[in-house]
Structure 1
Amino acid sequence: MRILVLNPNTSQGITDRLMHAARPAAAAGTELVALTAPRGFPYIATRAEAQIGGAIALEMLAQHHTQFDAAIIAAFGDPGLFGARELFDLPVVGMAEAAMLTACMLGKRFAIVTFAQALGPWYQECVEAHGLTSRLAGIRMLDGRFASVADVQDEKEELLVQLANAAVSEDEADVVILAGAPLAGLAERVKERIPVPVVDQMAAAVKQAEALATLRVRKATAGTFRRPAAKPTIGLAAELAARFGPA
């Protein structure tokens, strides 16, 4: 099995964090291949940045999808996820959706803990888009600067653990998700310091991608995620333009 891990951020350091968390979760025989966005933002934090990152993720998928059994969009707000499911035949997993659905199997309500205030509104809308608002205990965010986005989990580890514990004691969260690509892998390091299950977003995405690829379900030819009708395009990358051509 080959799984493509798409980082729609431009930071190679974040890609390295994602893969460090992903590899131990992969089953024997699963090959994980990472790609970092060739342009865009070091990390996506707002709605506008997510729109741009999502478009870049679609381009990357168009260029490489035929070589893989499944793909992961490895940014917590799942930029481009629904569009990818329309356009491509392979299963495409969003890191946020995978983490949240996994959390729902471990408890009634989950909390999202992340490293920047700017992420809150986007993550809230991501929860709503996936229909999981009633399962959300709350979103807690650090308020302050950090030296390096790729190393923010090391710099802010203790504060993130404090936020997670506050989500448990004050918001009555049954499960905690440490959210945002730069926090990939942190759950394994701190899980014994938080009294409820802690979901690693990247590990959850890998296991969900493996499961969907193993199921070998067909691509929809009806319903809202069928491939769109052919339409002419101007200026798109050739591989992406081809996905809008005849099926």
Structure 2
Amino acid sequence: MTRILVLNPNTSTAVTERLAAAARTVAAPDTTIVAVTATRGVPYIATRAEAAIGGAVVLEMLAEHIGRFDAAIVAAFGDPGLGGARELMDVPVIGLAEAAMLSACMLGRRFSVVSFARALGPWYRECVEAHGLTGRLASIRLLDGPFASLADVGTEKADLLVALANQAVTEDEADVIVLAGAPLAGLAPIVKHRIAVPVIEGIAAAVKQAELLVALDVRKAVAGTYRRPDPKPSDGLAPALAALLAGTPVPNGFRP
């Protein structure tokens, strides 16, 4: 059995439930999805500052659950804390954005990112750049306006998101659409037949790529940029994260 930990670095439990439901829809029969919500932070990450906070929370959450999962998913589209998580973890850690974009690259030459809030634009663009995929990006198209419910924004704005996606196809020559943002989990299967090109959603892509990496049974790097950092003491951090950084046992018996 494969155990996948889905980490929502936002504080919205309703979004976590949506992520978990979408993840279980695509997971293999022998895959167990365990979804957890950040206990501190913001309801949804939309800026660089919020992403920095979310990245620290991701590392704390991973440390608290270490030894209990075969792969983890950072379930916020900008992949906060992903690099640090890969340094510290012995198992694969997958980012929502990276999984969606790399999957899109297998279906077409260029992809467009479509989401529900204009504030997300700068962070999303930097995320594309960080993953080295700027040359494959056709556009980032974002809605502009309020929404009634974060967890239900996909349903509320479905028609507008479909129209935006089709504009990206006709005006930006996108070969694939990436529906971006954890609150849009589960929307792709509902609207994909209304969009003229393939549609990818982050949580579905991340689950399948997590299962693939677990099956490949890859080893933890002992050299290069993602090897585990040397043990180091710390001050004021959550106990599980402090123990992980120090290379000492954590409460559930796992020794880094």
TMscore range, shorter length = over 0.9
Moved more, 237-246 or 168-177: 237-246
What is the alpha-carbon distance in structure 1 between the residues aligned to residue 31 and residue 191 of structure 2?
Answer: 26
1:15-164 → structure 2 map (5 Å cutoff): 15-164=16-165
SS of 2:160 mapped into structure 1: helix
What is the alpha-carbon distance in structure 1 between the residues aligned to residue 76 and residue 86 of structure 2?
Answer: 16
What is the alpha-carbon distance in structure 2 between the residues aligned to residue 39 and residue 56 of structure 1?
Answer: 8
Measured after TM superposition, the shift of residue 206 of structure 1 is 0.2
Aligned to 1:240: 241
Count of residues in correspondence between the two structures: 247
Does the Cα contact within 8 Å between 1:3 and 1:209 map onto a contact in 2?
Answer: yes
Measured after TM superposition, the shift of residue 229 of structure 1 is 1.3
Aligned to 1:231: 232
What is the alpha-carbon distance in structure 2 between the residues aligned to residue 46 and residue 200 of structure 1?
Answer: 21
What is the alpha-carbon distance in structure 1 between the residues aligned to residue 217 and residue 242 of structure 2?
Answer: 26
Does the Cα contact within 8 Å between 1:65 and 1:90 map onto a contact in 2?
Answer: no
Letter in 1 for 2:182: A
Measured after TM superposition, the shift of residue 243 of structure 1 is 1.7
Root-mean-square deviation (Å): 0.7
Please give the per-residue CA displacement for 1:121-171, whole angstroms capped at 9, x wherever unaligned. Answer: 000000000000000000000011111111111111110000000000000
Measured after TM superposition, the shift of residue 245 of structure 1 is 1.3
Please give the per-residue CA displacement for 1:157-189, whole angstroms capped at 9, x wherever unaligned. Answer: 110000000000000000001100001111110
SS of 1:10 mapped into structure 2: coil
Aligned to 2:253: none
Measured after TM superposition, the shift of residue 65 of structure 1 is 2.1
What is the alpha-carbon distance in structure 2 between the residues aligned to residue 92 and residue 147 of structure 1?
Answer: 32
Measured after TM superposition, the shift of residue 5 of structure 1 is 0.4
Letter in 1 for 2:189: E
Does the Cα contact within 8 Å between 1:165 and 1:194 map onto a contact in 2?
Answer: yes
What is the alpha-carbon distance in structure 1 between the residues aligned to residue 21 and residue 144 of structure 2?
Answer: 26
Aligned to 1:7: 8
Aligned to 1:202: 203
Q: List, as ranges, runs of 4+ consecutive aligned residues in structure 1 with deviation greater than 3 Å.
A: none
What is the alpha-carbon distance in structure 2 between the residues aligned to residue 40 and residue 172 of structure 1?
Answer: 37
Structure 1 unaligned residues grouped into runs of 5+: none
What is the alpha-carbon distance in structure 1 between the residues aligned to residue 76 and residue 132 of structure 2?
Answer: 18
What is the alpha-carbon distance in structure 2 between the residues aligned to residue 118 and residue 109 of structure 1?
Answer: 23
Please give the per-residue CA displacement for 1:192-217, whole angstroms capped at 9, x wherever unaligned. Answer: 00010000211100000000111111
Letter in 2 for 1:187: A
Does the Cα contact within 8 Å between 1:9 and 1:44 map onto a contact in 2?
Answer: yes
Please give the per-residue CA displacement for 1:76-127, whole angstroms capped at 9, x wherever unaligned. Answer: 0000100000011110000100000000000000000000001000000000
Aligned to 1:191: 192
Aligned to 2:176: 175
Aligned-pair identity (%): 70
Q: State TM-score, norm by structure 2.
A: 0.95
SS of 2:151 mapped into structure 1: helix
What is the alpha-carbon distance in structure 2 between the residues aligned to residue 126 and residue 149 of structure 1?
Answer: 22
Letter in 2 for 1:194: I
What is the alpha-carbon distance in structure 2 between the residues aligned to residue 94 and residue 141 of structure 1?
Answer: 21
Structure 2 unaligned residues grouped into runs of 5+: 248-255
